[in-house]
Amino acid sequence: MVKPRGHLLLLGLGLFITASTTSPRAVAGCTSAADACREWVSVAGRPERVLIYRSHPLTVRNDSLRQAIIMVHGGGRTASDSFDTTAAAAFLAKRLDTTMLIAPRFSSSQGACKDSLASSEANWGCEDRQPDTWRNGAGAINDRNLTSFDVIDELLRGLARKDRFPNMQSIVVAGHSGGGQFTMRYAMSSTVADDFGVPISFVVSNPDALVYFDTLRPTTAAYPPNAAIPGYGVAPPSEAFAPYTDAHNCGAFNEWPYGLEKRSGYSAPLNEVTLRTQYVKRNVTYLLGALDILPLANFDQTCPALAQGPTRLARSLAFAKYVNERFRAAHKTEVIAGCGHNDRCLFTSASGLKVLFPESAN
């Protein structure tokens, strides 16, 4: 039972403390995407708002939380499923009591996407392969000054507040498939991720495509044969990366969000050197399914994506090699045997748990 404010509580071993007026007793967090676990987030007074699922309130002080995970959904925009998967991972890692779990929903009622929007809910572009969608940090359709990357910036600001979460030691931004694309591009673009004094890491899982810094693209020497389509095999060339040979037939291969040309939204004001420098120095892990080698689940088969490799696995392995060897990044790669294009399989695997729950947040 909670005692009235100011009363002295007698604890074991004869210790006395005064009930805090700013640090309420920790309560059990949400472990499923129920209505009671939803909250609305606004950014810097913008009129539109974003729905999130969270395990604890964002505006209530909590001394027990040591880590936070922001999990970005894929193209289906099923934030509730992403929250449930993250809660399952936290349970397996025995970190439910010390981890803030957050899953934002980037809703869309555009084109093929038919989300039902609440009053003042932000509405983003939907279609993959377009530069002006939530995956790429674009502005909302009903508020172009509010980008999807601004939402993550705002969540990070809140999580790093010492008056609310004084023991926060680690924040992870992660996403699978379309969320993996989002996470990669956010890690490249965010202008605030280094400002909070709390280490932030990024987990890029099974993205359809990534962002190259120049006009080089991988050859078959950039990834192992088992990362290609089954039955597909050619003798690898000597160089892992080379100028893209079909640029005259695929003029958009180096345009945002596949390359740095013609950027829009959050990343547009930043120069290419800044984007490259930020991404190279950030703590990034590519969490990949060894079986993600089939054109399933809205696989991007456009020529800008195919220029990066024949499968999702090949594309991520090649890009990790590219950024580490050519630009001296120290990004890590974890390939999970037995997992395909499945976020639950990846994030609840033994390797996935180690990536999501670093030892520093114990």
In this prediction, residues 65-73 reach a mean pLDDT of 98
d(CA 263, CA 231): 37
Residue 290 lies in a domain: yes
d(CA 158, CA 132): 26
181 contacts 153 by C-beta, under 8 angstroms: no
Residue 281 lies in a domain: yes
Residue 5 lies in a domain: no
Residue 9 lies in a domain: no
* Percentage above 90 pLDDT, the chain: 81
H-assigned helices in 69-177 = 79-92, 148-159
Question: 65 by DSSP, 3-state: which?
Answer: coil
Q: What is the CATH number of the domain that holds 179?
A: 3.40.50.1820
pLDDT recorded at residue 45: 80
Round the average pLDDT of the chain to a whole number and report it: 90
Domain count, the chain: 1
Residue 15 lies in a domain: no
**39-48 burial, b for 16+ CB within 10 Å, e for fewer?**
bebebeebeb
> Quick check: 262 pLDDT over 60?
yes
Least confident segment among 27-36, 59-68, 117-126, 246-255: 27-36
> Quick check: 3 pLDDT over 50?
no
333 contacts 288 by C-beta, under 8 angstroms: yes
Q: Which of 12-16, 185-189, 194-198 has the highest mean pLDDT?
A: 185-189
Name the residue with higher pLDDT: 211 or 18.
211
Residue 183 lies in a domain: yes
Domain with 227 in it: 29-361
145 contacts 46 by C-beta, under 8 angstroms: yes
What predicted TM-score, i.e. pTM, was given to this entire model? 0.90
Half-sphere exposure of 293 (CA within 13 A, CB side): 18
pLDDT recorded at residue 128: 81
Residue 137 lies in a domain: yes
Residue 89 lies in a domain: yes
> Quick check: 6 pLDDT over 80?
no
